[in-house]
Structure 1
C-alpha cells in the first residue's frame, strides 16, 4: 500500500521532508525512497498530463502557481496533493554542497571519475532553476525482463522505430537521447543496466518531459534485447565508422532499432557484430566522429524522413 504524502505545511528549508527531496539527487536515495523528482513547469506538465499514475505530490510557489495555474488544475484533477511553499523551500530541494553532497550529508552516488556528480551537481549552490515548481514521482520498478516483454508486445507487421541505449553513462546524454527519440517518433526506448539512471534529476531535466511521453524501459541485458528484437522481426542497427554502407544510401528496414553506445568508446565489438545492420554517417569535414547524441539525431531523423516520404 502506498503511503499517503504528508499534508503538513513546510516552513523550514532544513526540514526532514526538504532534506529527503534533496537527497533524491543520489541513486541510492531514489531506490530507498522509491521516488524521483521532476523540476520545472514543462516537465511537470508532461508528468501530470501523460503519466499521472507516477505523480505523487507537487510543490509550487505562489508566483509559479500564478504563472502556471494549469499545473495545479491537472494535479488536483488527478488527485495529486499540491503544496504551496516559499521559494527558499524549492531552492533547498535542489541544492547540493561543493562536495557533491545533499543537505542531509549523503553523497550523490555514481560520481564520474573526474569528481563531477553525474546527476547534475555543480560546484555549489542550486543545481537548477526549477521556476518555483517541483514534483515528486513514484519510481517505476526495475524489472530485467521488462524489455523483452515490451518488445514482444509491439504490434507485428507494422513499421516502428526503437532506440536501445547501451552503456550510455552520462544522465544528461540519457535524457537528451530520450527527448530526441520522442521528437523523432520512436515507439520505445530501452536502457541496458549499464546505462545512467533516466530518473536522475539531470536526466529528467534533459528529457524536458519526453521521459513521460513514450515507454522507457530500464535494466535490460543487451544479449536478451538483441534476441527479442530478432524474434519480433525488428532489425538492430548500429553506426560504425568502419561500416561499408552509408546511412543516406543504405536500405533501412521499416522495423528498426537503433543501438547507441558509450559516449567515449561507442558500441563494443561483440554488440557491433551482433547487429544485423551497420552503417556509417558520411563526414565531409575533418572531424573524426560524431558524439552519440548527434549520431542518434541524424539516424533517427533519416528514419523519420524516409517513413514520411514513403521510402
Structure 2
C-alpha cells in the first residue's frame, strides 16, 4: 500500500480516526515507515519552537481544535503555514490517537529527517567534540545522549553500526528538541 504524501498549505479540520493523514502520522510509530518516508513526529509546543529556531520547517502541523487562537500556538501555526505545511486542526480523540503518550500535548509536527554526511578526518580534528555511539539499543537513552550533546555544544552524534532510531517517538521525546540542534551521522562499523 502506497503511503499518501503530505499535501502542502492550508488548515483542515479532521475528526475521523480513519482519515488518511491520521493513518500516515500513526504509521510513523514504525521504524520501517519512518525509513521509507524519511519523516518523523515531534510533540509539544516547546519542541516545535526549538525546531523553528533551528531553521527546520514542518511538513505537517497537527493541533487541538481551538488551541491555536493566540500565543505561542498561534505563532507556530503562522510559522507552519508560511513554510507551506499542511495544518490539521483535530478533535481531542484524534489527537489522543496520534500522541505517543497518555497525556498528549496540544501540538505535534511531522518533519523530514536530516542526516549529516560523515565528517572528514580533518574536520574531526578541528571540531571540539563528536560523540560516537556503537549499537545503542534504548531510544530513551539515545534521546538523552543527544540532549547532552546539545548541552555541551557537540559538533554531532555519530551512530555506528546497528543502533536504535534517533527519530523514533521515544528518542525524539527524550531529546526534548535537541534532535533539531545536533547533526546526526550514520556510519557502518567497518
TM-score (norm 1): 0.53
- 1:31-110 to structure 2, matched below 5 A, reads 31-53=35-57, 55-65=58-68, 66=70, 68=72, 69-94=74-99
Q: In structure 1, how many angstroms separate the alpha carbons of the residues matched to 2:84 and 2:129?
A: 34
Give the aligned partner of residue 196 of structure 1.
164
Q: In structure 1, how many angstroms separate the alpha carbons of the residues matched to 2:127 and 2:21?
A: 47
Give the aligned partner of residue 216 of structure 1.
184
1:35 Cα shift? 1.5
For the residue of structure 2 that corresponds to 1:154, the secondary structure is helix
Contact 1:41 1:130 in 2 (8 A): no
For the residue of structure 1 that corresponds to 2:154, the secondary structure is coil
2:109 is the alignment partner of 1:135: yes
CA deviations over 1:222-258 (Å, ceiling 9, x no partner): 34xxxxxxxxxxxxxxxxxxxxxxxxxxxxxxxxxxx
How many residue pairs align between the two structures?
Answer: 183
Greater RCO, 1 or 2 (C-alpha within 8 Å, sep 6+)? 2
CA deviations over 1:172-230 (Å, ceiling 9, x no partner): 11111000110011111111231100000100000011001121112x1234xxxxxxx
Distance of aligned partners of 1:151 and 1:175 in 2 relative to their CA distance in 1, 3 Å threshold: farther
Contact 1:35 1:139 in 2 (8 A): yes
Distance of aligned partners of 1:151 and 1:48 in 2 relative to their CA distance in 1, 3 Å threshold: same
TM-score (norm 2): 0.83
Q: Which has the larger radius of gyration?
A: 1
Structure 2 stretches lacking a partner, 5+ long: none
Q: In structure 2, how many angstroms separate the alpha carbons of the residues matched to 1:87 and 1:70?
A: 21
Contact 1:171 1:197 in 2 (8 A): yes
* RMSD value, Cα: 2.6
